[in-house]
Copies of this chain bind each other. A is one copy, B any other.
Amino acid sequence: MANNQFKRGELYSFITGKASTAIARRLQKKFNSANLNLTIEQWSVLYHLWKQDGISQQELCNASYRDKPSITRLVDNLEKLQLVKRVSSESDRRMNLIYLTGRAQKLQDQTMELANETLLEALEGVSPDRIDVCREVLQIVYDNLAG
């Protein structure tokens, strides 16, 4: 049993996610410096739409691991910023399909470049195989808890 106990600091770091918080803040600062007027959360929604445009809010929930009210309000704010449009589905009128505007399409390259830059800074001095291990462990953690 004692073998299964985590050290305090270790435990705290994993739970509070200091590293990913730091990454997100760094990226947010880059967005702000570039006057993008975009939050990381808004970016993370656009991210899924860049992969596939015109998906429903429910699909955005699943993809971004957020609940429905969170997506409702993120889409509200993205609409205010004229980055997306809600289009009621013809086949199922309960659904809103979310489409990128031209403005949002133009943001993709610049923001992905800043995201890449941020990760390079974050992972400086870490060998590729250690990055791989870390990524795999985090994926397992996610899979262990997602169910």
Chain A interface (Cβ within 8 Å of chain B)?
Answer: 4-6, 8, 10-27, 40, 44, 47, 51, 64-65, 112, 115-116, 118-126, 130-131, 133-142, 144-146
Contact = CB atoms under 8 A, between A and B. Distances in A.
Nearest to A18: B142
Given A4-B116, A6-B119, A135-B10, A146 B22 contact: yes
Given A18-B142, A20-B20, A11 B116 contact: yes
A51 B38 CA distance: 38
Contacts of A123: 137, 140-141, 144
Contact of A14 (B8, B122, B141, B145): B122
Given A11-B112, A18-B65, A26-B145, 6 more contacts: A8-B112, A15-B23, A17-B19, A19-B142, A123-B144, A134-B138
